[in-house]
Amino acid sequence: MQSRLGHLIGSFRVFFAQESVLRRAVPLAIPAVTLVSWLAFGELGLLICAFLLPLPFLAFSPFSESSKRRSANEVDGLTGLLTSAGIECKMQDKLETLQQDGRVTACFSIKIDNFARLRENHGDQAAEDVLRNVANRLKSALRSGDMVARAGDAAFIVALEPVAYIDVESGIQMATRFQTALEEPIPLQMASIYVSVSVGFCLSSRLNNPSASAMVQAADMAMNEAQLTGASNIRAYSTDMGRKVISRRKTQSEAARTLQRDQIRAWFQPQVSTDTGLVTGFEALARWDHPERGILAPIQFLDVLQQTGQMSQLADLMLRQSLDALRAWDDAGFNVPAVGVNFAGEELRSPTLLERIQWELDRTELQPERLGIEVLESVVAGAPDDMVVRNLEAISALGCSIDLDDFGTGHASISSIRRLPVKRIKIDRSFVTNVDRDQEQQRMIAAIVTMAERLGLETLAEGVENSSEHAMLAQLGCSHVQGYGIARPMPFHETLKWMTAHQEKIGPALQIGNKPS
Ligand code: C2E
Ligand code: CA
Ligand code: CA
């Protein structure tokens, strides 16, 4: 028996000597080792296991010094930056002396917005080039002593060298500096790529006895908050943020029931002609008018509606409110030629879609030409579903127009566009941003406009944020524009005020009261 025990201990020793194997294998091996010992030695085996198995953990556990040293030096293969384990280790060392020194620090969580989409559109190679580029820019934006790590596919962590004083204001300034460095165009082989980043940060003074992992978690929470309010945002961690996150989880479960409560409203964003400045339509965008949390954007509830199978109820509700709005604009004497409603892919597969649209048009006595259906380019890319094609053909035959949304992001082939009854393409915001200053963007828009002209399609540029982008798009031959530079989405009652002001701005060109026939 002694020789068997000696053999077992010998094997343990060899096995435990392989530290990296040990770290991964021990948790899996414990039940097997215990079972084998019990079978071999009965209760004595169990006793041996109880005394011996904790030893390797004490020697090699992730909390041990050697393991800590190893983590602290781990680097990410793609960018050469520290890993998140590495930065946490180094940060922890600094945090331990922080309070005695009376100094403070801050941790930033930085994430590239919509990175999955960028990878999908430009491929893995370009995505990796972007990550390396972002990593280098981040390094150059730091001072010596600051640390940066890659913490996930498109996420980075920055930990500042402790200083005597830092407040929210200076945290925001620093986050803005990172954004400015990272949001410059990234030149790749074929074209420049624009990325935007969301930044969340946490000051050590906001946490009691801050640990590195608590700092990172708090910065991540702030970054998630930033992303929820749209791309390229900055948020500072505050103690009530944790409570807000819990309340949002509650909100999501509420969202599943919200349609019944009639809290979803259509807001409207105007689209104008680049020739005349006249309003050519409004896009209806869903908003949740939450009784406690105020107005919530679709990113906060569309997923839940989708998961709970309520997209068709949403489409009905948006269609009804949009056509009611058209009627009301007509009655108030405004000339709004059309309204555009977004339809999700699954909704476009519904066998009752045409009937429901027809029914709503009859109810409001509006001509089908005045309703536009916005379909994401990705829905019709490749080989679109037969049912989608049939529905779109029928809706178009009825007289409604079809807009291809987010054009340039979904790989629709020219033949799929020709096969479908598309009337207009909505050029995605990623081609529009900085078009006034960036020749690469100008060339892309010019190419899209030329292609559209050849195919007999109209064009609308989305996300136009200022008057010089607007002017450049007009010059490049884009026929319609939409974006914050013209107006943000607004509730119905504000559209009346906005149109009156817009009429005054563009002057006599607008024919008041000239209702479409
Ligand atoms: P989308 O159809 O591409 O709508 C345009 C989005 O860009 C809107 O965001 C709008 O508020 C925003 N936007 C407009 N101009 C600008 C600009 O100048 N700059 C920037 N940064 N953003 C601008 P929103 O309302 O948050 O909607 C997001 C997405 O949610 C929509 O993207 C659409 O895909 C979806 N969505 C909205 N309402 C509905 C709906 O009723 N049904 C369905 N299925 N999807 C909807
Ligand atoms: Ca849209
Ligand atoms: Ca769009």
Q: What is the DSSP string of 416-470?
A: HHHHTT--EEEE-HHHHTTTTT-HHHHHHHHHHHHHHHHTT-EEEE----SHHHH
Query: pLDDT at residue 18 above 50?
Result: no
- CA nearest 206: which of 172, 178, 167? 167
- Give the bridge partners for 192, in sequence order: 187
Rounded Cα distance, 200 and 168, in Å: 11
Domain with CATH 3.30.70.270 in the chain: 71-239
Chain centre distance of CA 340: 23
Query: pLDDT at residue 515 above 50?
Result: no
Domain with CATH 3.20.20.450 in the chain: 262-506
Q: Hey, is 374 helix, strand or coil? A: strand
What number of other Cβ atoms are within 10 A of residue 257's Cβ? 12
Cα 406 to ligand 2 centroid, rounded to whole Å: 7
The owner of tokens 């105007």 is 270
Give Cα separations from 142 to 97, 150, 160 (angstroms): 22, 15, 8
Please give the pLDDT value at position 37: 72
Using an 8 Å Cβ cutoff, are 478 and 427 in contact?
Answer: yes
Query: pLDDT at residue 43 above 90?
Result: no
- DSSP tally for the chain: helices H, then strands E: 21, 16
Rounded Cα distance, 43 and 49, in Å: 10
Query: pLDDT at residue 42 above 80?
Result: no
Mean per-residue pLDDT, 145-173: 94
Chain centre distance of CA 221: 15
Q: Give the tokens for residue 39.
A: 């079978």
Please tell me the number of Cα atoms within 13 Å of 198 on its side-chain side: 22
Interhelix angle 212-228/84-101, rounded to 10 degrees, is 110
Mean per-residue pLDDT, 170-189: 92
**Is the minimum distance from the CB of 432 to ligand 1 under 6 angstroms?**
no
Closest ligand to residue 482's CA? 1
For the whole model, what pTM was predicted? 0.62
Rounded Cα distance, 503 and 498, in Å: 9
pLDDT tens across 488-514, in order? 999 999 999 999 999 999 886 555 444
Mean per-residue pLDDT, 153-171: 94
More confident residue, 189 or 402: 402
Could you tell me the pLDDT band of residue 261, with boundaries at 50, 70 and 90?
low
Query: pLDDT at residue 432 above 50?
Result: yes
What is the CATH topology of the domain spanning 71-239? Alpha-Beta Plaits (3.30.70)
What is the CATH topology of the domain spanning 262-506? TIM Barrel (3.20.20)
**Is the minimum distance from the CB of 322 to ligand 1 under 6 angstroms?**
no
Instruction: List, as own/partner pairs, every contact residues 473-476 make where C-beta atoms lie below 8 angstroms and the sequence separation is at least 24, other chains included.
Output: 473/274, 473/432, 473/435, 473/445, 474/274, 474/275, 476/435, 476/442, 476/445, 476/446, 476/449
Q: Ligand 1, residue 341: give the atom nearest the CA.
A: 41
Could you tell me the pLDDT band of residue 19, with boundaries at 50, 70 and 90?
very low
Rounded Cα distance, 185 and 266, in Å: 35
Q: For the chain, what percent of residues have pLDDT higher than 90?
A: 58
Rounded Cα distance, 141 and 333, in Å: 55
**Is the minimum distance from the CB of 183 to ligand 1 under 6 angstroms?**
no
More confident residue, 9 or 259: 259
Query: pLDDT at residue 159 above 50?
Result: yes
Q: Tell me which DSSP letter residue 144 carries.
A: T
**Is the minimum distance from the CB of 314 to ligand 1 under 6 angstroms?**
yes
What number of other Cβ atoms are within 10 A of residue 137's Cβ? 16
Round the average pLDDT of the chain to a whole number and report it. 85
Could you tell me the pLDDT band of residue 52, with boundaries at 50, 70 and 90?
low
Query: pLDDT at residue 203 above 50?
Result: yes
Q: Tell me which DSSP letter residue 240 carries.
A: T
- CA nearest 200: which of 250, 158, 162, 166? 158
pLDDT tens across 343-358, in order? 988 889 888 899 999 9
* Residues less than 5 Å from ion ligand 3, measured at CB: 405-406, 462
Query: pLDDT at residue 458 above 60?
Result: yes
Pairing relation of β-strands 279-290 and 294-296? Answer: antiparallel
Query: pLDDT at residue 230 above 80?
Result: no
Could you tell me the pLDDT band of residue 378, with boundaries at 50, 70 and 90?
confident
**Is the minimum distance from the CB of 474 to ligand 1 under 6 angstroms?**
no
- CA nearest 407: which of 437, 371, 451? 451
Closest ligand to residue 347's CA? 1
**Is the minimum distance from the CB of 463 to ligand 1 under 6 angstroms?**
yes
